[in-house]
Amino acid sequence: MENYKKIIEDIYLEVKNVDDIGKVANYIPELAFVDSNNFGINITTINNESFGIGDSETKFSIQSVTKILSLTLAYKLEGEKLWERVDVEPSGNPFNSLLQLEADLGKPRNPFINAGAIVVCDVLISHLKNPKEDFLNFCREISDNTTLNYNEKIAQSEKSSGFRNIALCNFIKSFGNIKNNVDEVLDFYFHICSLEMTCKELSQMFLYLAEDNFITKKGTKIISESQTKRINAIMLTCGFYDESGEFAFRVGLPGKSGVGGGIIAIHPDKYCISVWSPKLNKKGNSYKGMLFLEKFTTKTTSSIF
């Protein structure tokens, strides 16, 4: 950890002063109110040592980072049958694109684009008695943190402006790949995207993807080693929308970003690192977040390649 710490401190200062060419997401009105100067980082190693710097303990809306959690729960409940509903191929398209769905007959390319995450929400609704509550409890159990919660204001803000997601859900339903009520699926989707966490909480929570033998404090094994491998593989190939190749090229770790400006990245058997900086590049990924991680894996020579 000492080695990581010094490198993180140095890169933090360097990147903090870089001119940020990104823009805060404002298509969800509530996200535009977030202070764009926030910049936080936290690393947690598999032996549970944690180090954070900057705004690492400020909560923010994790947005699409939550799609790893919804995928994890759906995969756990549905098993391999899940892949009949959603594919595992990079889309090469923006996160909210409707384009491919027509040609692919309503089967989304992967669980991390909005279309795929909406289908995953539908799968979860079919399994869970109280989807919003049960999902939250699942997240609370993994992180051993009962304070985790949705941000109702952000969920409502997206609900009132999420026209593309509403279109996506209806479009997929027309192909028969949404089984439940469209309003219920979207309400659930908007809520899981509004989940709030700090960088510190994120890097602790996602250790289950870095550590094969991870078990919760209650003694539950979340997913099998093979499922862990597969989720990491989808993160590497599809975690950054149509910039997934670029992230793998520059950073070299499986990861996932969200339009709230958060990114988590996993080094299997070593650590989970999270970065938060709200201004996004043109592809919807945190500008400084990506820059930080590129410098971090380069200086620590700790990518998976």
Smallest gap from Cβ 80 to ligand GLU, in A, equals 26
- Measured from the CB atom, is 95 or 271 closer to ligand GLU? 95
Look up residue 272 and give its DSSP letter. Answer: E
Smallest gap from Cβ 178 to ligand GLU, in A, equals 15
Smallest gap from Cβ 256 to ligand GLU, in A, equals 9
Each residue of 232-245: b (16+ CB within 10 Å) or e? Answer: bebbbbbbbbbbbe
Please tell me the distance from the alpha carbon of residue 9 to that of residue 3, in angstroms, as a whole number.
Answer: 10
Please tell me the distance from the alpha carbon of residue 148 to that of residue 69, in angstroms, as a whole number.
Answer: 13
Q: Which residues pair with 44 in a beta bridge?
A: 50, 272
Name which position in 75, 95, 188, 271 contacts ligand GLU (CB under 6 A). Answer: 95
Residues 60-89 that bind ligand GLU (CB under 6 A): 63-64
- Residue 261 near ligand GLU by CB under 6 A: no
Residues 163-182 that bind ligand GLU (CB under 6 A): 165
Name which position in 15, 169, 193, 253 contacts ligand GLU (CB under 6 A). Answer: 193
- Residue 30 near ligand GLU by CB under 6 A: no
- Measured from the CB atom, is 143 or 165 closer to ligand GLU? 165
Cα separation values, 163 from 6, 28, 186, 203, 280, Å: 45, 10, 11, 32, 21
Please tell me the distance from the alpha carbon of residue 33 to that of residue 222, in angstroms, as a whole number.
Answer: 35
- Measured from the CB atom, is 142 or 193 closer to ligand GLU? 193
- Residue 130 neighbours by CB distance under 10 Å: 9
Smallest gap from Cβ 46 to ligand GLU, in A, equals 27
Please tell me the distance from the alpha carbon of residue 191 to that of residue 158, in angstroms, as a whole number.
Answer: 9
- Residue 96 near ligand GLU by CB under 6 A: yes
Residues contacting ligand GLU: total by CB under 6 A: 11
- Residue 284 near ligand GLU by CB under 6 A: yes
Structure tokens at 30: 């509530």
- Measured from the CB atom, is 96 or 97 closer to ligand GLU? 96
- Residue 122 near ligand GLU by CB under 6 A: no
Q: DSSP for 30-71, please give it.
A: GGGGS-TT--EEEEEETT--EEEEESTTS-EE-GGGHHHHHH
Which residues would be at the binding site for ligand GLU (CB under 6 A)?
A: 63-64, 95-96, 114, 158, 165, 193, 258-259, 284
